[in-house]
Amino acid sequence: MNVASYQFPAAFQWGAATAAYQIEGAATADGRKPSVWDRFSAIRGRVLKGDTGAIACDHYHRYEQDIQLMVKLGIRHYRFSIAWSRILPEGRGNVNWAGIDFYQRLVDGLLSHGITPHATLFHWDSPQALEDRYGSWRSREMALDFADYVTAVVSRLGDRITHWMTLNEILCFTHMGYAVDKIPPHAPGTQVKSLKEVWQTSHHALLAHGLGCQAIRAASPIPCSVALVDNPVIPVPITESAADIAAAQAAFSTIEGNGGIIVPALTGAYSPVLLERLGANAPDIQTGDLDIIHQPLDALGLNLYSGTYVRAADNPCGYVCLAYPTGYPRLHMPWLWVVPDAIYWGVRHVGKTLGQSDLPIVMTENGCAAQDEVNAAGEVIDSDRIFYLRQYLKSAHRAVAEGYPLQGYFVWSLLDNFEWSWGYDRRFGITYVDYATQQRIPKASFHWYAECIRQNRVC
Ligand code: IFM
């Protein structure tokens, strides 16, 4: 591997990622019933400009055209998610064959072009019926229903999908959907009464992950890879002195949600520091739960967009998080501070801080929203996105060059799409979508990324 030219190993997986509710549209087609996001986005004031995912990129009807885009891009790996409410419209019970058929057609189309499908089983769009029945993630029943849904999917699609991911970004769809004293920016938008109840929702999601892993392995007709996708906060040492590195490591396993999501999933125990801090607000954990949660994984997916600078401090936790100075570069989201080193440190923390040095890691999402415009020539020259992606990919390269098991990179996203509470106002795609006509316009970053893939290096 040539370090100076940022060359990646031949087997490095280049890909692009999307999620069902953000691109599919066709919200009432072929037996699909509402998800919590259909209901949430229909409530005035929940999503910017009243946008919903009812049409989105109309990918449900245009998936063949979108596969052609992937071919043009040169990716050999595509990450997408399966919509629970297309497969089990009521959340449990009867399987909707039209839903299965859609994903079979999509996957067969990918495979016929040599593109490996990587399927996420849950990317936030849980069936509204389960919210109505028992409050979805507030109930332990949700984990059991998730496992049944996984069995329904994997037993029918497992002959052609070998890369499975259970849940995407647990903290977002639990803590941001049920937070106390905040207006939850995520579906279902329920205000629970205590912080304990919030932590209970993420505990149920962890259980769903564990039961989901078991269900995948039991239902898959062929050997397959099973992963969790998480978005931990990444502490980046402000200098690479031994003291600041130790501070970043101390921060990684305790900071914000990390100690209650990635730590139990990978080690089988919540961070003791977090549990002490939570006190009576810690979730109820039943005997055996942590064994279920701590399933062996074939890979870990990391969704990384930003990082938090830390330095060593003479305080009980040994670190302080540093505020971003005024004028620090940020792209088109309030949280999108440009911290390329987050990729390197994210991969390193999983290996060294959590002692998982053999666990293969895939960058399952990285990208940015930019204020893209179509120019008079009909092009979108998103040099800001290229600037961002180039730096992050160099950081990924550093991790690989130092021998960390980073095996692939999926840009978020193949297409502009429904960015949750921000609706269509924020564009994360390397392909511009004109929502009025559904025209796809590959941006400059699309062509740049295609060249990286072609040369297998950061260009
Ligand atoms: O669009 C989201 C995606 O659904 C989950 N990860 C972060 C992306 C950008 O906000």
Residue 70 C-beta-side C-alpha neighbours within 13 Å? 32
Which residue's alpha carbon is nearest to atom 10 within ligand 1? Answer: 419
Model pLDDT, residue 290: 98
Enzyme catalytic residues = 169, 365
Substitution candidate for ligand 1 out of 169, 302, 414, 422 with most atoms within 8 A of CB:
169
Looking from the CA of residue 412, the nearest atom of ligand 1 is 8
Q: How far is the CA of 276 from the centre of ligand 1 (A)?
A: 31
Looking from the CA of residue 428, the nearest atom of ligand 1 is 9
Substitution candidate for ligand 1 out of 125, 168, 171, 303 with most atoms within 8 A of CB:
303
Substitution candidate for ligand 1 out of 419, 425, 433 with most atoms within 8 A of CB:
419
**Which segments in the chain show pLDDT lower than 70?**
1-3
Model pLDDT, residue 180: 84
Q: How far is the CA of 280 from the centre of ligand 1 (A)?
A: 32
Residue-by-residue DSSP string for 90-147? TSSSS--HHHHHHHHHHHHHHHHTTPEEEEEEESS--BHHHHHHH-GGGSTHHHHHHH
∠ CA 339-173-420 to the nearest 5 degrees? 70
Looking from the CA of residue 22, the nearest atom of ligand 1 is 4
Is the CA virtual torsion 21, 22, 27, 29 positive or negative? Answer: negative
Model pLDDT, residue 1: 56
Looking from the CA of residue 419, the nearest atom of ligand 1 is 1
Model pLDDT, residue 2: 58
Q: Are 436 and 375 in contact (CB under 8 A)?
A: no
Which residue's alpha carbon is nearest to atom 2 within ligand 1? Answer: 419
Which residue's alpha carbon is nearest to atom 4 within ligand 1? Answer: 19
Model pLDDT, residue 3: 61
What is the number of domains present in the chain? 1
Which residue's alpha carbon is nearest to atom 1 within ligand 1? Answer: 419
Looking from the CA of residue 413, the nearest atom of ligand 1 is 1
Model pLDDT, residue 141: 98
Count helices and strands (H / E) in the chain: 16, 13
Substitution candidate for ligand 1 out of 306, 331, 418, 428 with most atoms within 8 A of CB:
428
Cα first-last separation, the chain? 15
Look at residue 72 and give its three-state secondary structure.
helix
Q: What CA–CA distance (Å, rounded) separates 154 from 176?
A: 29
Which residue's alpha carbon is nearest to atom 9 within ligand 1? Answer: 419
* CATH (domain of 406): 3.20.20.80
Q: How far is the CA of 419 from the centre of ligand 1 (A)?
A: 7
Q: How far is the CA of 417 from the centre of ligand 1 (A)?
A: 10
Q: How far is the CA of 79 from the centre of ligand 1 (A)?
A: 13
Both tokens of residue 254? 């305790």
Residues having CB closer than 6 A to ligand 1 are 19, 22, 169, 303, 365, 412, 419, 428
Q: How far is the CA of 231 from the centre of ligand 1 (A)?
A: 10
Looking from the CA of residue 365, the nearest atom of ligand 1 is 6
Q: How far is the CA of 451 from the centre of ligand 1 (A)?
A: 24
Could you tell me the residue range of the domain that residue 140 belongs to?
A: 3-455
The reported pTM is: 0.98
Q: How far is the CA of 168 from the centre of ligand 1 (A)?
A: 9
User: What would the pLDDT profile of 412-429 be if each residue is shown by its tens digit?
Assistant: 999 999 999 999 999 999
Contacts of 344 (CB under 8 A, 6+ apart): 395, 396, 398, 399
Model pLDDT, residue 181: 79
∠ CA 327-331-337 to the nearest 5 degrees? 60
| Local structure of residue 406 (DSSP, 8 states) | E
Looking from the CA of residue 168, the nearest atom of ligand 1 is 5
